[in-house]
Chains A and B, each alone.
Chain A
């Protein structure tokens, strides 16, 4: 119990520090994110999705106090392929197999941050992703850069309330 509390305090402290940094230095411009393994060094890949959402909620709560103007986004990197893959998973259980080796990370952006809006606009909204909370919207993003041989795939989660703030429908 004591260990859990200590971990939570540590996690909260890191989240606050990170959000402060992003808000004060405007480091969203450099896509300043925090990976969940920075918040909990003991986390395993099999827990990335579950813990990712836990930390996401924590970050939202911290954000309300530290940086209320920033949108909090949870992002997962998915494995890339040489051909367009599309959404090849129905829910969180299946998504685990698609995860890249990079632990999920949490971003904080202003509501009008152009790169985030562009990403959302170029993403597919996943209507029903089994295992996700109802108040969260999932965006699937897949693209390839010139000269690269693999598509980049990621899935972003954002609270519905925050999404409304962006004006994106």
Chain B
């Protein structure tokens, strides 16, 4: 915890009513995350994994975070529109919108890539994501965009790389006018790479100058295109974006024992601990200069800084050659041309230069 005296001192300095610089001596601030109080790993369809939960405090939400709350008796998730049984990956009532291959399948049978916030739309998060600025850094998908930097990393490149890539984009992703040119890096096993989620997700983050993809995607057709593009089946489409890129932070991991675990966002309280140590003070320029001198941070020619002892006397620095310069840039006694080091130091410590 922060030392109360330090914080109080800091507050006093800041709230003194008069704008002033506040300086800290030997201050260290440790910004710590507060301890994780709740969290869990889940099987793909949302059943909590045994012995992989953190339950220091009760937390009502589980699978898919705040979208659902687990009933403590039935272990079903209460989504906004319907109940869900994570042990079988099925909804307990039909899809209210009547979409999908079956009205009961959970997360369109693709829980690794999809989420269903309310129980009626497993693509909603993806659509929100596609309409967000996170996708290739563009704002509106109903206007043509050009990706000037695209890379697909591989070791050998088949001759039909560009057309194949474009075809995949058109067919699987619904990008009607996808065209690719200028890919110059070597590619191998492109089909495999295009079906490799992580691979493609990484690829779009790399750089290949000269590559260009034109994408056009009318916003009002996105959902239709997503469905017809075989998103559920995977491929470049949905999974091409990569679960790591989804707006819902979620990572996929393979456990040593085999099952795929979906790690939900760990519940971390928003409060963090600010750990402050050190002496807090509003230092005068004189004290700052003297402190720097003691630490060997001042030019050797600056001997000391003094406060004025008589009313009207200004704070001043003494040089080793017995000259003394007032803080307002006038000479207390003596006078000479300052060296660059002296100028830099004194300016940084609140002195005006003569």
Contact = CB atoms under 8 A, between A and B. Distances in A.
B349 to A, nearest CB: 15
Given A101-B290, A102-B304, A119 B333 contact: no
Interface string A25-47: 00100111101001000000000
A77 B313 contact: no
A137 interface: no
Contacts of B333: 21, 27, 30, 32-33
Contact of B18 (A30, A147, A150): A147
B318 A119 contact: no
Which DSSP category, helix, strand, loop or mixed, fits chain B's interface? loop
Q: How large is the interface on B (under 10, 10 to 19, 20 to 34, 35 or more residues)?
A: 20 to 34
B256 interface: no
A75 interface: yes
Interface string A115-158: 11011001000000000000000000101001111101010100
Find the residue from B318, B326, B330 having the highest chain A CB count within 10 A. B318
A48 interface: no
A119 B311 contact: yes
A56 interface: no
Nearest to A18: B333
B310 A31 contact: yes
A143 B312 CA distance: 12
Contacts of A156: 309-310
Contact of B16 (A27, A77, A80, A149): A149
Given A30-B332, A35-B318, A107 B310 contact: yes
B289 to A, nearest CB: 11
A102 B310 contact: no
Contacts of B71: none
B133 interface: no
Nearest to A31: B313
16 contacts: A30-B332, A31-B310, A31-B314, A32-B332, A35-B318, A107-B310, A115-B311, A115-B313, A143-B311, A146-B18, A147-B20, A149-B13, A154-B309, A154-B310, A156-B309, A156-B310
Interface of A: 21, 27, 30-33, 35, 38, 75-77, 80, 100-102, 105, 107, 115-116, 118-119, 122, 141, 143, 146-150, 152, 154, 156
